[in-house]
Chain A
Amino acid sequence: MSNTHADTVLYVRDTMLPQSEPPASTIGPAGWAKQNLFSGWLNTLLTVVSAAFVVFLLYRLLPWFISPTWGSDSLSSCRALFEEIGRDHEGACWGVIRDRWQQLLFGFYPAELYWRPILSLILLMVALAPVLFVGKVPAKMLIFSVIYPFMLPWLLWGGTVWMPIAVIAGFGVGYLVFKLVAKVGPGGLAAIVATLATVLWWLFLTAPVAYGLASVLPLALEPVASRQFGGFMLSVTIGVVAIACSLPIGIVLALGRRSDLPLVKWLCVGFIEFIRGVPLITLLFVASVLLNIFLPPGTNFDIILRVMIMTTLFASAYMAEVIRGGLAALPKGQYEGADSLGLDYWQAQRLIIMPQALKISIPGIVSTFIGVFKDTTLVSIIGLLDPLGLANAIRADTDWNGIYWELFLFIGAVFFIFCFSMSRYSMYLERKLQTGHR
């Protein structure tokens, strides 16, 4: 065969040609541009149009953006400055950000107490670390994560330190009662009695104990009223409280929705679908005008707390769906394995199911948090001073009457930084978790 080939073909190369460089049009920036920007007439057209669009946008916006108005203290002084330096176009008036950035971040929180919300935020990061970076921080730090929800209200609202301690003591009371009753009676009874004891402690004994201890040893922070809360601090507080409180409620609802007991199941489905079916703003209306009607006569607590309750209910319905997704994603073998080990329902949930299901759900929980955090701007409609509400308040000031874009840009940028970094984190987590399961 090869012989016939050699006979019929006149010339056969017996050495390799030296490798030549790839054509200049396929390598380097030119090659990259050809491949990614100008491959075919349609792509070229798209590239040119979008490049023109970007250039046009920058041409219109950059001169507005670069504006030496950081020092001015009112819109009229900005305009005077433009006339002075002879600018014919309008520029941004950045003085409003310098003048009011503290207000946009903290509302009317007393300036000398800014360290408290800042410390709360830092401690929030610390408390979240063991949840967010599983395996990279010591698990013992979870203890702090558990204590943090009780510290947060104390740090922000101030008052006596004994209040959060007395609330935590409620759990201790419950545990003690459980141990005592479990010695003489069945476990189920003990659990019920312990829960009752805890609730009774919270309802009737927490306040007297806290005030009693406070009169003996007054360890207190200066109290700050709710109406002084505002800005991003308010958004973050409502968001964090809503998510933290909605997590346990969401777990219960999700378990209820998957329960075999038809009545429990339908109660949970009804609650979840009702909350998910109405807009948050209607729930906020409930918080602002109806909640006091539903509670015993004479009950009157402040609007931020009412908003937090309704936001928590709102978030817990969404959280329940996220966790239900996590439960559904677990292989059936996990449930059967737990059953075959002889674990009862709650043991199986606690030791086998929940640790895995919650881990799968973390990205969904983070997205829920982003959603709730963005939705906290709705409280401006019922008159709270979240960043958007504050923007209106700042505009009502004669100094800054008529200022729009600078405030929107600042608020939008802060929201973007918060939400974008959280969504990136959630994507990172999704990738990390996916390798473990597939």
Chain B
Amino acid sequence: MTTLTDPPAESFKLSMLVYDTRYRSITFQIVALVAFLTLVGWLANNTIQNLADLGKEPSFAFMTDPAGYDINQRLIEYSSQSTHLRAAFVGLLNTLLVAVLGCATATVVGVIVGVLRLSGNWLIARLMTVYVEMFRNVPVLMWIVLAMAILIETLPAPSAFRGDDPAATMKVFDSVAFTNRGVYIPEPLFSRGLGDISVFGAFGISLDLIAILLVLGVSIFISKRIGKKADATQEATGIRPRTWHLRTAVIILPTALLLLLLGFHFGYPALKGFNFQGGTHLRNSLIALWLALSLYTAAFIAENVRAGILAVSSGQTEAAAALGLRPKRIMSLVVLPQAMRVIIPPLISQYLNLTKNSSLAIAVGYMDITGTLMGITLNQTGRELETVLLGMLIYLLISLSISAVMNWYNNRVKLVER
């Protein structure tokens, strides 16, 4: 005989929305959603009303109007007759340019400083500590402004290079001129160049560059294949064939041949009139920003590198030594692969910080996306809502792509635990 009965059918009461855990989470989420939508609606309503009062209507039509201002630092063709959209694109490319340059330099400097901070040499270790603490504890904006001031105030004017007994001379075999208007370096030129290819009819990419990169890519691929073959031979016979001369030749020769075919030569800057002509002109704003951002970020990267190396426990090193590995191989086979796992994630977030800090370009007049879209375009069109939101969206996209790379890497190197 069974005494089991169905539980009494509960009648639904309103208070169960709060007290019954089955419904509570749904209640809370609905409340949160309503609150959020109310807030968004309130803000949107205010915005529409305010804009209507100002006589503006949100629209991105202004982006196709002529910009009417010049950008002195540009990677693609641009004139004051170009559209605001193109100006913003020039700015975006400038942001990416300084970000890439800065990340590369910061990584090199940061790794060197981080390793040297662990050096047994007392003086070097102290100097590196001073460098790291000095740069980390002073705002990056001050470093940027300071770098700009140093470039403008301490370098000679182009006129100092003139005359029979000039006050300043060009450096590196008369090919580089450091002036207070920027640095002039030789530019690569091709006497039998292939010309440009137009992308979407919007801007041109040098075919020479594409050809060189293509050849270099193929060479590196072949060189890797040779390396793999050598690995296989080593696995099979225990003897590694000497391949380094072959690999070097495979990488260098085809590229050199191509450069020769294209008639590669340098165009040197020369003083003409009041300024230097020819060569590539690196403007002070770019150099100051690049220098300050990379040195500032390098101080943080140095700390990450140091922490990463220290994070590998000494037992690992000792065990490797017990296996009979030499110090160099211990470093490359045991310590570095493990340190990398610790170093890379913060390294990538430093890249992210550097990219975001590059928006301070506006302080030295470097025309990045903040300077063009959220600077002059904003002031000329008075479209503060559209320009600032678009600018934020672009930065958000850059940040999210960097984060995506970081997550991909983290998943790849994650320790697989049982």
**Interface membership of chain A positions 276-303, coded 1 if the CB is closer than 8 angstroms to chain B and 0 otherwise:** 1111111001100110111111000000
A378 with B360: CB separation less than 8 A: yes
- Given A46-B121, A261-B29, A286-B388, does the pair A186, B137 have CB atoms closer than 8 Å? no
Assembled-state Cα–Cα distance A423/B133 (Å): 10
Task: For B32, give its contact among A51, A264, A420 (CB under 8 Å).
Answer: A264
A267 with B32: CB separation less than 8 A: yes
B396 with A188: CB separation less than 8 A: no
With an 8 A cutoff between CB atoms, is B120 at the interface? yes
With an 8 A cutoff between CB atoms, is A428 at the interface? no
Of B25, B50, B378, B395, the most chain A CB neighbours within 10 A belong to B50
B-side contacts of A262, CB under 8 Å: 29
With an 8 A cutoff between CB atoms, is B76 at the interface? no
With an 8 A cutoff between CB atoms, is B104 at the interface? no
B356 with A278: CB separation less than 8 A: yes
A54 with B127: CB separation less than 8 A: yes
A293 with B124: CB separation less than 8 A: no
Which of B60-68, B142-150, B155-163, B338-346 forms part of the interface with chain A?
Answer: B142-150
B138 with A419: CB separation less than 8 A: yes
A292 with B139: CB separation less than 8 A: no
Task: For B370, give its contact among A261, A267, A281, A388 (CB under 8 Å).
Answer: A281
B-side contacts of A408, CB under 8 Å: 142, 145-146, 149
Interface size in chain B (residues, C-beta < 8 A): 55
With an 8 A cutoff between CB atoms, is B411 at the interface? no
Assembled-state Cα–Cα distance A290/B387 (Å): 11
Which of A35-43, A73-81, A162-170, A213-221 forms part of the interface with chain B?
Answer: A35-43
Assembled-state Cα–Cα distance A415/B146 (Å): 14
A-side contacts of B133, CB under 8 Å: 416, 420
B356 with A279: CB separation less than 8 A: yes
- Given A47-B123, A267-B32, does the pair A278, B142 have CB atoms closer than 8 Å? no
B374 with A282: CB separation less than 8 A: yes
Task: For A297, give its contact among B33, B49, B378, B385 (CB under 8 Å).
Answer: B49
- Given A282-B388, A297-B46, A408-B142, does the pair A274, B396 have CB atoms closer than 8 Å? yes
B51 with A282: CB separation less than 8 A: no
The A interface is mostly helix, strand or loop, or mixed, namely helix
With an 8 A cutoff between CB atoms, is B391 at the interface? yes
With an 8 A cutoff between CB atoms, is B218 at the interface? no
Assembled-state Cα–Cα distance A189/B14 (Å): 13
With an 8 A cutoff between CB atoms, is B362 at the interface? yes
Q: Which residues of B contact A (CB under 8 A)?
A: 15, 18-19, 25, 28-29, 32-33, 36, 43, 46-47, 49-51, 53, 119-124, 127, 133-134, 136-142, 145-146, 149, 153, 356-357, 359-360, 362-363, 370, 374, 378, 384-385, 388, 391-392, 395-396, 399-400, 403
Q: Which residues of A contact B (CB under 8 A)?
A: 36-37, 39, 43, 46-47, 50-51, 53-54, 186, 188-189, 260-264, 267, 273-274, 276-282, 285-286, 289-290, 292-297, 370, 374-375, 377-378, 380-381, 388, 404-405, 408, 411-412, 415-416, 418-420, 423
> What are 8 A-B interface contacts by the 8 Å CB criterion?
A36-B120, A46-B121, A50-B124, A282-B391, A290-B388, A295-B46, A388-B145, A416-B133
Q: A286-B392, A290-B385, A374-B138 are in contact. List 9 more A-B contacts (CB 8 A).
A: A50-B124, A50-B127, A186-B15, A261-B28, A278-B392, A279-B395, A282-B392, A297-B53, A419-B138
